Every structure is written in C-alpha cells, then in structure tokens.
Structure 1
Amino acid sequence: MPKKTYAMRYVAGQPVEQIFPGVLPHPGPDLPPGAALTNSNVLRIMVWNIFKQQRADWLSVLQGFGKDAQLVLLQEAQTTPELIRFATSNFLAADQVPAFVLPQHPSGVMTLAAAHPVYCCPLREREPLLRLSKSALITVYPLTDGRLLMVVNIHAVNFSIGVDVYSKQLDPIGEQIANHKGPVVMAGDFNAWSRQRINALYGFASNISLQEVRFPADLRRRAFGRPLDFIFYRGLSVTQAQVLETRASDHNPLLVDFLAQQHP
C-alpha cells in the first residue's frame, strides 16, 4: 500500500499538526479569509535547496536573507531542531511535506510563511529508479488587495528515463494552477538538467500562462549547463531578482521581490 502523503505544520507554541490532502477546501472564492501575507507593496520570496543542512553556515544565510522574506521555499529541508526554531521564531507557519524519512529527521520541501495558509495540498512522486520520493506543496495565502496567492514549492524527480514521470509530477500541480483565479508563484528545484526536461517544463509553464523570473547575474546552480532552480509567476510584477552566492549548500538561493498589490 502506498504511504499516505501529508504535510507537517509547525507553528510556535502549538503541537505539530498533520495535514492530509483534501482536508481543506479546494482553492476558490469560498476560502476563509485570513491575515494578509504582507502588509506592504512588496512581496519578497526566497527559494533554496538547502542540501539537508549538511554544510556549515546554512543558518546564517537563512537569517541574513530569509527572515526579511514573507515566503521562504526550501527543498531538501530536514526538520532539525535548529531549522524548526528558525522557522517558528521568524514565521507564522511552516509546512513541510516529508518526502523520505532519514534516520532522525524527515526531509522534503518546506514553505515558511508570514501568514497562515488558507489552503494546503501536499504531493509526492516516487523516483522510478531510486525508489525515493520527491515532494511538492501547494499553499494559498491572502494578499492585502483581497486576492489569493497560490504558492507551489517543488522538488522535481531527478533520476528517470524520459520525461513521463517528470510530467506526471507536474500534472496535478498544473490542474490546480489552471483552476486558480489569483496570482501564482511556482518555484523550487526542478532538476531540469536535460533538453527533454527543460522543454517539458517550459511547455508546462506556458500552458498555464506562467512567466519565468530572469536573473540579471545568473549564478544559479547548473547541471550539464542547465539551471536547476526556477521561479515562475503569474499576476504579479517582478521588481528585483538576484541569486546569492554561497557555499552553505550545493545550490545558490534565489531572492525575488514582487509588487504584491494590483493597481486599478
């Protein structure tokens, strides 16, 4: 029997909560209102494959750049006490989808947010060759102008022959994005290291009207000459985008500022 997919929610001073897909309503106009994600015009998002916190200085990079962001999308985040402490003392909610359980702490995508999500949908896809899982997480947050922002945090399957499994992981995400009326950010480690994969990813993004964030100084981690980490968006405007150089992981963090309010 396949393992159940769920998210773990970490909130300061509260017991850890398990959230299963379908427990919260589908994203739509009936979602309950909540506190807005940002109280200013700017929405800052940090995206980083944190390499299971195996290298020194990961915490100082997060403290230096992550704590001023309203959203931090981590991949390969292990729920170590240090990371949970950082998450719960700087953010209102942190949701993690355990992709696979390591001896001590589960590892997977984790979204840290300055507001509580009004929708949360964890997803997992098994690597066909290694039999390990990769995870994705869809969350939705209110913005100050009344719109709902859908955020997709993804760590794409890495080892597969062809792109069938790769596309299969993207399909349920595409369905939810296509049905969402408000702005969207989809970001993470897409493992787009082959021409087939990058074509599948760009085709997928274009089908659901997502644009790619461009980086003036593109220092993203590459494999076979192709970047692995991407940020796609819809219904927002980019004001600033940069890649931070660090040795604290085998990926460099991406930092993007969006204009969060829609002007009439």
Structure 2
Amino acid sequence: MFKHRDYTLRYQGKCDVELILPNHKIMHNEPLIGQQPFSVLVWNIFKQKRADCINILEQYAHQTKLILLQEAQTTSQLLNFIAENNKIADHVPAYSLNDIYAGVMTITDTTPTQILSFREREPFIRVPKSALITLYPIKNSTQQLLVANIHAINFSLGVKVYRQQIYMLLNYIEQHHGPVILAGDFNAWSRQRLSLLYHLIRSINLKPVNFSNDIRKTFLGRPLDFVFYRGLKLNAANIVNTAASDHNPLFVKFKLD
C-alpha cells in the first residue's frame, strides 16, 4: 500500500496507473455535463464476486456520465472495462490484498478538476472504508459539479464514527457553490443512523432521490444505498434488478436546474 494517506489512484484508458496526490495539478478540464440530461449509475459491486457484474457495467457504459462504485476491486476485468471503454477511473483504496486494491471508484469520460480522498477505519474490524469527492466543469458555466461517492462505516457502537465520516464530506459540500450529487452505500441500517443521515442531509439542503419501485438492498428493513442532490432537476430514477451483486444498481437521470 502507498505510504501517502490522502491519495487516489487513477486508471485511464491503456495508461499506467497514476498516483494522484492532494496537490495534483489539473492539466486540462473538459466539461462533463451541459444543458442536456445526464445519467448516473450508483452501485456497490460486491468486490466483483459475481460473474455478470462487468456485463452490467458494459450495458450502462455509454448511457451514463458517471458510474459511482463501492467495493470496487482493481481486478483485471474491471481495469479492462475501463481501458476498453476509454474511461477515466479515480479510485480511493480502503485496503489492498495480493496487490488488488478495494474501495470507492468514480468512473467518467472527463478528468476532474479537483479530487479529495477520505478513509475512515472501521472501529471493530479495523478495515477502512473510503470516500471520494471529485469536481467537474460544466459547459458554458463558471460553476462546477461536485460528486461525492461514499461507502460508509458499517460496524460501530452508536453513531460517533459514522457521523464523523459523513460530516467530513458534508463540510466540503456545504461550501460548494454549484450542483451536487452525493451517493453510495451509506449502511444506514439502524433507526439512529437513518435519522442522523437525513438530519445531516437536510442541514445542507440536499434532497433524496425517491424510487417508485424501491428494490434497493435493505438490512433490518432499511435501505443502504442512496442518491442525494442539490442544484439539479431530477428527470428519472430507476433501480436495476440484478443478481450480479448483493446490491441493485441505482440509475438516476438529472438535468441542470
């Protein structure tokens, strides 16, 4: 594992993996979105343990501007998907095993103008969870789109560490002047966690995406995966029913507000 704490690994086309540090200089910044509607796929991919997961990604590769993965592992299959579709993937490894890194990954067609990576260690099992904030230019606008991808702490007594992890992201989101997407696996499986999550989200004026056919992964009767947004208009929200992971992907379409 790299010695730097605040780093991201970038996989781009057929290029070698690039280490992105907090002071990384952006060389170019093509707009990611404009006035046309755009789609986002959010998915805990279950460490690519099931055979069809890459097929699902292939189906949505050209339909989405953003693919936000949790539990993404840098296996040859996933890296081949990124290269063959000429994508840019920014990955915040939470841990590594046998030179394979696992954590959140944000996949797009455009290099972000800014990257912030976060890691929070699980209190009991001591394995970190990761999160990532990326900013992207908007065509014909001085504003940028902020995208936050999170895999939240799962095993803890109370909500102190859970609050701490989410609050780190919200501090940056609150200061951002422009549209926001916050999404991922929030592990909001208790009443206390879910109440805290909604309280924090409301405090910075984010809205939840609601699903008419809600087949999100649940635990103890509560959904784990969420998409929140601000400064955007929600056009459509669907859930992909699949056995390719233990979570169903969320497929959401937005337009600039």
Larger mean CA deviation between 80-89 and 152-161 belongs to: 80-89
Is 1:242 the counterpart of 2:238? The answer is yes
> Pick from 230, 249, 253: which aligns with 1:253?
249
> Pick from 211, 220, 226: which aligns with 2:222?
226
Cα offset for 1:145? 3.8
> Pick from 43, 48, 51: which aligns with 1:48?
43
Q: Deviations over 1:196-235 (max 9, x none)?
A: 1001110110111100001111010000000000000000
Q: 1:13 to 1:141 in 2, by over 3 A?
A: same
| Count of residues in Structure 1 that have an aligned counterpart in Structure 2 | 254
Cα offset for 1:66? 3.5
Q: 1:37 to 1:127 in 2, by over 3 A?
A: same
Cα offset for 1:39? 5.2
Inter-partner Cα distance in structure 2 for 1:10 and 1:216: 35
Paired position in structure 1 for 2:197: 201
Cα offset for 1:16? 1.3
Task: Kindly report the root-mean-square deviation, in angstroms, between the aligned alpha carbons of the 2 structures.
Answer: 1.7
Q: 1:91 to 1:210 in 2, by over 3 A?
A: farther
Cα offset for 1:32? 8.1
Q: Which amino acid aligns with 1:151?
A: V
Q: 1:191 to 1:140 in 2, by over 3 A?
A: same
Query: What SS does the aligned partner of 1:232 have?
Result: strand
Structure 1 unaligned blocks of 5 or more: 26-30
Q: 1:242 to 1:63 in 2, by over 3 A?
A: same
Aligned positions of 1:7-22 closer than 5 A: 7-21=8-22
Paired position in structure 1 for 2:213: 217
Taking structure 2 as the reference length, what is the TM-score of the superposition? 0.94
Q: Percentage identity across aligned positions?
A: 46
Cα offset for 1:89? 2.9
- Check conservation: 1:127, 1:133, Cα contact below 8 A: yes
Taking structure 1 as the reference length, what is the TM-score of the superposition? 0.92
- Check conservation: 2:35, 2:255, Cα contact below 8 A: no
Q: Which amino acid aligns with 1:5?
A: D
Structure 2 unaligned blocks of 5 or more: none
- Check conservation: 1:92, 1:116, Cα contact below 8 A: no
